[in-house]
Amino acid sequence: VLHIDPLETSAWNTLVSGHKRWVLFPPSAEGRQLMPGGCGSGEHLQALEELSDLGDSASHWLHKCYPHIDASVGECIDFVQAPGETVYVPSGWWHNVVNLDFTVAVTENFVGEPNLRSSFAAMSATDPETAERWRLGMQARPELRRFAELMVDDEAQ
């Protein structure tokens, strides 16, 4: 289903076998633009903006919604991933992925230095206790301490 990965994370996906079709839109695209008329109800649009499941399949979006997206949305990256290829999805990018045949893949969401502060803020809003344990865990390790300091607002330091 078309989505943005949770908690401001980035992701990578390495395909072992099979083929996947990816469609990506930059963070500047708005959820309502990516669900043109007839592709979803108001509830679906609200769910899309909350980054939750739309209840429709990725294949449904690809075949019923994608062809009707207005060019004013801007840049779109549409490609097929082959075995042995790794796809990187930056934080905040909308994406939809459809398996074109039987696939085996390994994927992981992660937080890097560029999205550390925004990911920490998203986690703090969702689960403050876990966010604080994350920050304190990084603070306790000398090699990660400088990153832990990036997680806090300048005013709070």
d(CA 141, CA 148) in angstroms, rounded, equals 9
Return all residues near 135 (Cβ < 8 A) that are at least 6 apart.
120, 148, 151, 152
Q: Is the pTM above the cut of 0.85? A: no
Assess contact for 58 and 1: CB atoms under 8 A.
yes
- How many Cβ atoms are within 10 Å of 34's Cβ, its own excluded? 23
Q: Which helix (H) or strand (E) holds 136?
A: helix 128-139
**Tell me: the pLDDT tens digits for 97-135?**
999 999 999 999 999 999 999 999 999 999 999 999 999
Label residue 54 by pLDDT band (50, 70, 90). very low
Residues forming a β-bridge with 95:
3, 24
26 phi, psi to nearest 5 deg? -70, 165
